[in-house]
Structure 1
Amino acid sequence: MAWNEPGGNSGGKRNPWGGGNKPEQGPPDLDEVLRNLQRRLAGLFGGGSGGNRTVGGAGPGRGFGIGTIVLVLAAIWAFSGLYTVDAAERGVILRFGKHVATTMPGLRWHLPWPIETKQIVNIQTIESFSEQTRMLTSDENMVDINMEVQFRRASPLDYAFNVNEPEQTLKEVSESAIREIIGRSKLDGVLESGRQEIVARTKELIQRTLDAYKVGLEVTAVNLQDVKVPNEVAPAQQDAIKAREDRDRLSLAAQAYSNDLIPRARGAAVRAVQEAQAYRAQKVSKAEGEAERFTALLTEYERAPAVTRERLYLETVENVLASSKKVVLDTKDGAGNLVYLPIDKLLEQNRRAPRVTTTEPSMTVESTDTSDGTTVTGDRRTRGTR
């Protein structure tokens, strides 16, 4: 380097033999920094070294570097749209927030962000959660229930768009459903025999509510893991259960008594009606018989009035004296001999032995008592001993 070459301070001369004072060091030149940075970028992307290029220059090296950067960035942006969907998943593609496609398993591509976005939804994995709560049954008993709900994401589109926080919605719907079902069930059914029915009804109610909301979830199973009476209220609840059992027992006993008494009363009523009907039929038949006998007697009386009158008289006296305790003795030929008879023994024997009527042979008599002078022939019976 010649001793008189320009450099350093403007207008100054530097001594090649090291003489003279060193110039003061100033701040770095901004243009020089930019030129160095440009040279490094050009070398990185294949540009030549040009020390004389200015910042605002448009040389071929600078244009090649910017184009390469743009191409590289475009390639990176395009490759960012590649994604893979597994066999158990579905891809939901959104273009500026609007659903445009639901992709199947495999290697897929979509327009990169910010034009399109993707959301991967697993539709086969079974997930579960537990819900523990305390509630009242229909017979006002308190129970603690630990319920497990298993579910999967059946509809990717509904799951992604219709409801905010679908899992939280499922928890709230499950709690509401189990409270409704338990509130309509009795304690005995909850603790013992009715648990399967409660599980089935709860699952059906949860699924029906989710379908109405279009949450996109499918309930696969509902399990009651633990159902018990709280320890704090167990003694009082047992007393209430015992009182209810006593009430049911007494109610059944009263029902049994009613079932026994009512048929008896109905049977007695039917029997009384039948007896009344029989009594009526008997009276009617007897009256009809008496009427027929009287009619027949009237016919005989019209044919022989005197004989009929006497016969009626004798029959009447016989009927009257049959129940009398008096004994009439008729002595023959006016003899004054008194015959002793054990009257009390005869009366007692008469009550025990059947009545036998002994009559003497009838005599045929003729009478002309009729007013027209005709002769009436009849049989006159002599009085006998009964």
Structure 2
Amino acid sequence: MELRDIFNRMQQQPPRINYPTVGWKWIVVAAVIVAVVGGLKTSVYTVPTDSAGVVQRFGRYNRTTEPGIHLKMPLGIEEAVPVPVKKVQKEEFGFRTLKAGVDTRYLGAEEIDARRSNPEDLMRLISESGERVSRSTTSELAERAKEILRGEYVMLTGDLNITDVEWIVQYLIKDARSYLFNIREPRQTIRDASQAVMRQLIGNGSVDEAITIGRIEYEVSAKEALQKLLDEYETGIHIVTVKLQSSNPPQKVRPAFNEVNKALQQKETRINEAMKTYNEAVPKSKGEAKKAIETAKGYAAERVNEALGDIAKFEKIYTEYIKAPDITRQRMYLETMSKVLPLIPEKWIIEQGGAEGGILMKLDLVGNKSSD
């Protein structure tokens, strides 16, 4: 084959391929079908049972829907955001719960020091705090995680002592619209407000109140103050509870504080025992005193009545004595001797001026016998 023949073939037109002819009506039908399918797909949405649906039209709030299947304008005109209004959520301060249930695992400063944490948990804690996680060794991650936790739980009390406070805040979203549109970062807002309230309460009290006697009061006060603060900013959040998980002195001084606390408990025990003895002894003593007083009153009344009787008897005898002094005197003497003589075991009767010294006989009046 010559070179000229090759060039002639190259200049020839390639064979024409006959494609099937598609009409404009089919293109329109296909476009309509695609639009309908896309519209149906983007116009139906489902709200979970524990949530409320907040519908936005071109980014602006439009309405709030209940759980179930609903329709909205398609193709991005309206967007629906589910908000879990019936789910109790919580924020933890000073520690994190890694696994809840029977085998609950926590991540705190003590767990990090004991090397009971893995790098994934440490990186998750750091990222949740809003920091960017970079490539670091496990020890560097542990130190950074401890700094984050320490910034949450280390607090200064009103008497210039340091205490470690760990607590939980549980809350519900009561107004989905306010929750989405009135605050930019709801979770961080709750955390910042909770720390501000708790630090103020701890800073106004003593270390003893924070660790021992004031825990319940702090929980109640923190819940009320936090709710008031969130309501002022119209966050749409309802605080369910504030619970102090632990409140202890720093690790280095904890043994000494425990000894002091033990002594205070022993003191309280002794006081309670003393109060118990007091409550038992005082009523008994009061009863005995009342009984003695009543006995004395009865004895006094008896003596007074006897004295009044003696007075009346004496006055009667005196009246008779005035009438016949000798006879009355003799009768009184005989009555007295009849009472006295039976009480004397041996009696000697002596006659004045008689022989042998005046001794007559020895009488046994009790036995009604006489002997020389």
Per the normalisation by structure 1, the TM-score is: 0.48
Which structure has the greater CA radius of gyration?
Answer: 1
Greater helix fraction, Structure 1 or Structure 2: 2
Q: Which has the higher contact order (CA 8 A, sep 6+)?
A: 2
Per the normalisation by structure 2, the TM-score is: 0.49
